[in-house]
Structure 1
Amino acid sequence: MTSAVTTDKDKSEKSSRAGYGQLLRTPGALSFVLPGFAARLPFGMLTISILLLVQHTTGSYARAGVVAAVTGISMALSAPVMGMLTDRYGQSAVLFPVVLLHGAAVGTLTALALLGAPVWALALAAVPAGASVPQVGPMVRARWAAKLEGSPLLPTAAAFESVTDEFTFVVGPVLATALCTGVHPAAGLTTEAALTVLGGLVFATRRATQPRPAGRGAGGEKHGSALSFAGLRVLIAAFLGIGAVFGGMQVSLAAFSNEIGNPGANGLLYGVFAGGNMIAGIACGAIAWKIGPRRRLLLGYAGLTVAASLLWTVDSMALLAVLGLLVGLCIAPALITGYTMIESLVPAASRTEAFTWLTGAVAFGQAAAVVVAGRLTDAYGSGAGFLVPLAATALALVTLVALRAKLAPKAPSRIVNASTAAREEQADGRGLGHRVPVAVD
């Protein structure tokens, strides 16, 4: 009888792991999830809004790509710094000044573009606009990690956050495109700045669910950078490839829509692509995986490479939508798996920084792809631009295959951190290995 009761309990616990409803019923969760979403939505609007505005004022995708790329690179370089400051001083202390700076920087960039400023001036203004993008996504993930420490719902939270990210990439570009093409070329950036400031300030006021800053831990001891962990470095290289897919698709889909004489189709095509991403993310969070995370990561990148390999051959809007959907379906499993692996690769005291490195890698890959794809589309058409996602995902897959051993989960005692608080958290979390299925890769 005891065995039967235990089995029923185990089944109940397993079923709860995929429960999005149970996750959102976690006390205090909605207080940071909702404003966090409002503050993250602009992330999906920024690049495409800059691309469309600058292309409108200069008439060149290549020039627009340069400005968008500077924004992405600035964000990628500043994100880990913002993550380290957040781990040390707390989320509110970082968010309040950052969101206000971002609003001012985007307003300046918008004004310069409308005044017909040269590309070098726009690129210069793009530096603070990108560097001040608030890292709300990693901050939300850090709040989940702190709130659900030791809970079987933590993997579900990782999937939920990836789905939320994908949803911003569905709504953000579509909203930005609609505003830029249907209202005013600058409407996308204006809305992006307003949402960032309002959502960011509200999120920053939700102090009760913020993780304890490491700088206020016992003795105020310093902790090492998340970048010192080899597994994170491998994931960064892999996430560069995903970023390149986003950047390459944005430029190439916009160019394709112009080529067929229907610029408004860009929002629809990108929405289908990002919608596939979101659908796959929802499914991934509801699946009880029987294979290990390394194998899931490799399979995700292999599928992404195969799907991307056909994009450059397409000359039909309907077929491009189908292929874009397939590419989107392959992205979410890779993203979710990568973010979930952070828990076993990086200690808690450096986790916000680790998440920002991955977010920054996506932004950097996106920025580089926008530049390359912009030049290719200007010179050879949208088909050439679609080669960028293919090349980037193929390189990422080769990197993962070659360095997959560095992604092996570390026992809590091997995730070394200098802070006493982190060591205590790791000691408390030694039982986590019993709730995460282990599979041979």
Structure 2
Amino acid sequence: MTSPATSAPQRAGYGQLLRTEGAWSFLLPGFLARQPYAMLTISIVLLVEHTTGSFGLAGAVSATAGVSMALLSPQGGKLADRFGQAAVLVPGVFLHAVTVGALIAVALLDAPLWALFAAAVPAGATAPQISPMVRARWAARLEQSPLMTTAAAFESVTDEFTFVVGPVLATALCTGVHPAAGLIAEASVFLLGGLAFAAQRRTQPVPNGKPSKSGGADGPRTSALAVPGVRVLIAAMLGIGMVFGGLQISLTAFTESIGHPGLNGLMYGAFAGGNMIAAVIVGAVQWKRGPQSRLLTSYPVLVLAAASLAVAAQLGPWAILLGALGTLTGLCVAPCMITCFTLVETLVPAGARTEAFTWLTGAIALGQAAGSTVAGQLADQVGAESGFLAPALGTGLALAVLLTFRRALSRPAGGRVAARGVGHRTAVTVD
């Protein structure tokens, strides 16, 4: 049984995506507001190392902020779903500026070490989650449209670009201007960009706590974690995060062990470049298979690529081979990550999507922290080449969860017929 389409759908692609009504109104301020996200942790590292002289302590304080961000930011996403993105974002950017200012003061005033960790918690927890909010706006505009995969790919490329530009800018400011300049810029850009993004209220998803004409809520308030598929996707994203974190540490240890630390940036850049290329391709393809099938096909390939990288590292210090396999791993990451974000639109009610997207991005951050820790321990205790086992281990465990609970990734029985978003309406079969 199908519902008639109101217009003939065009081929999904970036051109059609960017012609979506109202898209540019949130894309431009959203692009500005998300840049500081990748500046926070590296800016903390550089400031704390300057004031304490310890990279180990600086990394621990930065990790505290990162874990706090990953665990507590989904609550902000939940509030955004209930009360609206602007209602949460406006006070949030001011609160973040205050907490970052407190962290700077604590670091520069040589406060006790416990104070550094205590200040890092609210600084990380209050970091505005712009990327999930942008993804939620795409989902609201493109409900059930084939362009959702294109939007997810577009956002993944944008996020990857952010993590290329942000750390470079933060490092330049901290080393060339003042050790606190990175955090000052991070808070300032979040404030300006966040307010500009929040001002675009017309494109934000309808809050699920908005009163209806009858005086009640528009619908039941559903937590994203109550959806079984979201919990499975979180596991998948944890594995992807371990790839990012594990490669950062293992490549650093490997290049230092062979006496060419300068190769680290080039080799990680090859991995990131492969990720970006694959993301662009995934968004340009008009897929005939559903996202669940694509994820269950692409994730095993990612595991094989990560395992191949780990095996090659044990065979010898061959930088060219590891660089090539790192690029291959990057090519395999993007299809998995994009498909996870695409599945949110299928599995999660509209009133809980910002929270769901925040949980997924938080899972990447948690996985990154875990991957860094595991790879670092392996590199220190066993050898530099052993750090490459962390991505293989993380993705292997995540694949086991995906295969065990794969039914949770299917659309709920009964299906639905829904509006397909502004300007992109297509017929949907009710299962």
CA distance in 1, matches of 2:173, 2:270: 18
CA distance in 2, matches of 1:58, 1:162: 36
Identical aligned residues as a percent: 60
Runs (5+) with no aligned partner, structure 1 = 1-8, 416-425
Conserved? CA contact 2:30–2:197, under 8 Å:
yes
Indicate the residue corresponding to 1:100 in structure 2. Answer: 94
With over 3 angstroms needed to count, the CA separation of the structure-2 counterparts of 1:120 and 1:271, relative to structure 1, is: farther
Indicate the residue corresponding to 1:330 in structure 2. Answer: 332
From 283, 286, 289, the counterpart of 2:287: 289
With over 3 angstroms needed to count, the CA separation of the structure-2 counterparts of 1:71 and 1:253, relative to structure 1, is: farther
From 352, 355, 358, the counterpart of 1:353: 355
Conserved? CA contact 1:48–1:250, under 8 Å:
no
Shift of 1:54: 4.3
Indicate the residue corresponding to 1:280 in structure 2. Answer: 278
Q: Does 1:140 align with 2:134?
A: yes
With over 3 angstroms needed to count, the CA separation of the structure-2 counterparts of 1:63 and 1:378, relative to structure 1, is: farther
Shift of 1:136: 0.9
CA-to-partner distance for each residue in 1:379-422, whole Å, 9 max, x for gaps?
455434332222111111111111112111225x568xxxxxxx
CA distance in 2, matches of 1:323, 1:182: 35
The structure where helix makes up a greater share of residues is 1
Shift of 1:326: 1.9
CA-to-partner distance for each residue in 1:359-385, whole Å, 9 max, x for gaps?
121122222333333444454554343
From 371, 374, 387, the counterpart of 2:373: 371
CA-to-partner distance for each residue in 1:108-127, whole Å, 9 max, x for gaps?
33454455556533322211
Give the SS at the match of 2:405: helix
Conserved? CA contact 1:281–1:333, under 8 Å:
yes
With over 3 angstroms needed to count, the CA separation of the structure-2 counterparts of 1:153 and 1:289, relative to structure 1, is: closer
Shift of 1:165: 1.9
Give the SS at the match of 2:185: helix
From 208, 226, 229, the counterpart of 1:231: 229
Give the SS at the match of 1:215: coil
Indicate the residue corresponding to 1:38 in structure 2. Answer: 32
Shift of 1:238: 1.1
CA distance in 2, matches of 1:183, 1:259: 32
Indicate the residue corresponding to 2:74 in structure 1. Answer: 80
Q: Does 1:149 align with 2:123?
A: no
Conserved? CA contact 1:177–1:266, under 8 Å:
no
Conserved? CA contact 2:145–2:426, under 8 Å:
no
CA-to-partner distance for each residue in 1:52-105, whole Å, 9 max, x for gaps?
554566565554443232222211221221111001111111111212222332
With over 3 angstroms needed to count, the CA separation of the structure-2 counterparts of 1:209 and 1:235, relative to structure 1, is: same
With over 3 angstroms needed to count, the CA separation of the structure-2 counterparts of 1:117 and 1:249, relative to structure 1, is: farther
Q: Choose 82-91 or 261-270, whichever is displaced more.
A: 261-270
Q: Does 1:383 align with 2:377?
A: no
**What letter corresponds to residue 275 of structure 2 in structure 1?**
N
CA-to-partner distance for each residue in 1:174-197, whole Å, 9 max, x for gaps?
444555566665554443333322
From 287, 301, 304, the counterpart of 1:303: 301
Conserved? CA contact 2:62–2:120, under 8 Å:
yes
Conserved? CA contact 1:69–1:366, under 8 Å:
no
Indicate the residue corresponding to 1:66 in structure 2. Answer: 60
Shift of 1:289: 2.3
CA distance in 1, matches of 2:187, 2:244: 21
CA distance in 2, matches of 1:119, 1:376: 27
CA distance in 2, matches of 1:56, 1:316: 35
Give the SS at the match of 2:160: helix
Q: Does 1:315 align with 2:313?
A: no
Indicate the residue corresponding to 1:6 in structure 2. Answer: none
Indicate the residue corresponding to 1:3 in structure 2. Answer: none
**What letter corresponds to residue 389 of structure 1 in structure 2?**
P
Q: Choose 91-100 or 170-179, whichever is displaced more.
A: 170-179
Runs (5+) with no aligned partner, structure 2 = 1-6
Q: Does 1:24 align with 2:23?
A: no
With over 3 angstroms needed to count, the CA separation of the structure-2 counterparts of 1:385 and 1:307, relative to structure 1, is: same
Give the SS at the match of 1:383: helix
Q: Does 1:244 align with 2:242?
A: yes
CA distance in 1, matches of 2:82, 2:112: 39
Give the SS at the match of 1:233: helix
Conserved? CA contact 1:174–1:268, under 8 Å:
no
Alpha-carbon RMSD across the aligned residues, in angstroms, is 3.2
Shift of 1:217: 4.0
Q: Does 1:127 align with 2:121?
A: yes
Q: Does 1:109 align with 2:103?
A: yes
CA distance in 1, matches of 2:115, 2:383: 27
With over 3 angstroms needed to count, the CA separation of the structure-2 counterparts of 1:385 and 1:69, relative to structure 1, is: farther
Conserved? CA contact 1:61–1:375, under 8 Å:
no
CA distance in 2, matches of 1:258, 1:103: 37
TM-score, normalising length: structure 1:
0.83
Shift of 1:154: 3.0
Conserved? CA contact 2:143–2:419, under 8 Å:
no
Conserved? CA contact 2:30–2:134, under 8 Å:
yes
From 200, 205, 221, the counterpart of 1:206: 200
CA distance in 1, matches of 2:415, 2:20: 30
**What letter corresponds to residue 143 of structure 2 in structure 1?**
E
Conserved? CA contact 2:149–2:339, under 8 Å:
no
